[in-house]
Amino acid sequence: MPGGRRGPSRQQLSRNSTSVGLSAPPITALITPEPVRHRRVPELPLDGSLLFEFLFFIYLLIALFVQYINIYKTVWWYPYSHPASSTSLNFHLIDYHLATFITVMLARRLVWTIILEATQTGPTSMVRYTVLIAARFILLTVCGWVLCWTLVNLFRSHSVLNLLFLGYPFGVYVPLCCFHQESRSQTLPTDCGYLDQEQLDGPLIKSKDFLTLLRENLKEQFNNPTSIPVHSCPLSPDLIRNEVECLKSDFNKRIKEVLFNSLFSAYYVAFLPLCFVKSTQYYDMRWSCEHLIMVWINAFVMLMSQLLPPKYCNLLHRSAAHLGKWQKLEHGSYSNAPQHVWSESTIWPQGVLVRHNRCLYKAVGPYNVAVPSDVSHARFYFLFHKPLRILNLLILIEGSVVLYQLYSLLRSEKWNHTLSLALILFCNYYVLFKLLRDRIVLGKAYAYPLNSFGIKSH
């Protein structure tokens, strides 16, 4: 180990265990850390924002249709001597105003993405600019009018308790996301282009008023953060830690959007229709709840694969390689090995022993500039030092869902179970195919030795 082998500094160390490390020379005089080498990964195709939102909206509509089948199915195949129903669904029991309201809520991201895509094209003439403004106004007006029309009809035909379920996700989102903001001990660098300038004015974000926080959080729900920052391979320890802080903030925003939108989709697709079922209507509660869980898991995987693409995971992996990790050791261990006082301006090589806050730590990564006592740095390195960890996790989740649905399809005896599983599986195959494709390509790319062609050293 580089930190454990004997060198000229050993003669300068005191034999007393209480003074170990105080007289050791700087680590830069002992050994030079090996350069961090990054593998070049191929550019994998990623669905555009408009295409992804369209496919995601189609999947949610299919899942909503399946839930209505599970609730309002009939036994239409009975002979005419014992007629149960003349149609496959009890259409007269379906609340079409509720179905329209759910459809509009699910289409909110698609509508906003269409507006953003049309705006980013850039009008070339005054006529085109006027048409674009008129189209945006008409689209938003139609959506708002349909939403108000459905709400008025729902207020007329349902109780207040049922109507409270319509806006429950927003009531939960506002206190959780608007009042729970991270406090940062370090000021973020001004060269993080993917952070707003308002976030760089100070180390704390809690100084903003409620309306500003609410506007920013609602804006995040309509903006799809698919833009990926650029990794500059900083050589200064302060720049490396600042880059990690920026990436942590960006990653937390993406995870927050994934969690909220997946739960939002599952709530309006599979749970809200159950809240408006009449007490005299019978439906399979277990199967409907199982469908709710499946919709949430599939929406979670789809959003994760879109907002955390392989290129973004590779960026996090490169930053984690520069950050490094420290392993806390017990007191009394390595008492005869050279020990040094941790310095924030030093790049520590692998295997070196340092003391920080009266604790002994051992360097794990090839580069180590992380704060030994900072748990967030250790968590960042654990999550991203292996570039395929997130992708493998998504494949495991989606593969387990597909296998379970195939098993349920083989054991299904009811026509609505067979139809719902077949429709959902058709959508899951596409998601699993993209994940496996990325895993195969990236697995071969990361399996190349470091001295092969296409490797960059920093």
Strand order in the sheet with 339-341: 326-329, 359-363, 353-356, 339-341
* Positions in the chain whose pLDDT score sits under 50: 1-25, 27-29, 82-83, 179-190, 193-207, 452-458
pLDDT at 176: 58
Q: Give the span between the Cα atoms of 13 and 21, in whole angstroms.
A: 7
- Name residue, tokens 């994940």: 435
Main-chain phi, psi angles of 308, to 5 degrees: -120, 70
Give the pair of three-digit tokens for residue 336: 């005869």
**How many CA atoms within 13 Å lie on the side-chain side of 447?**
6
pLDDT at 229: 63
One-letter amino acid of 241: R
In terms of residues, how long is the chain?
Answer: 458
Bridge partners of 329? 360
pLDDT at 282: 80
pLDDT at 416: 85
Q: Is 357 left (phi over 0), alpha (psi -120 to 50) or beta?
A: left
Question: So where are the chain's domains?
Answer: 49-308
Q: Tell whether the torsion through CA atoms of 287, 107, 198 and 189 is positive or negative.
A: positive
How confident is the model over 39-63, as pLDDT tens digits?
Answer: 777 888 888 889 999 999 999 999 9
How open is the CA angle 36-388-260, to the nearest 5 degrees? 115
Whether 112 and 222 have beta carbons less than 8 Å apart is answered as: yes
Whether 407 and 294 have beta carbons less than 8 Å apart is answered as: no
- Name residue, tokens 């090995």: 337
- Name residue, tokens 């392993």: 327
Give the pair of three-digit tokens for residue 247: 């990436």
pLDDT at 414: 86
Model-level pTM? 0.79
DSSP for 13-78, written as a single string: S-SSGGGTTTSPPPGGGT-PPPPPEEE---------HHHHHHHHHHHHHHHHHHHHHHHHB--TTS
Whether 321 and 367 have beta carbons less than 8 Å apart is answered as: yes
pLDDT at 195: 44
Q: What are the helix (H) ranges across 340-414?
A: 375-384, 389-411
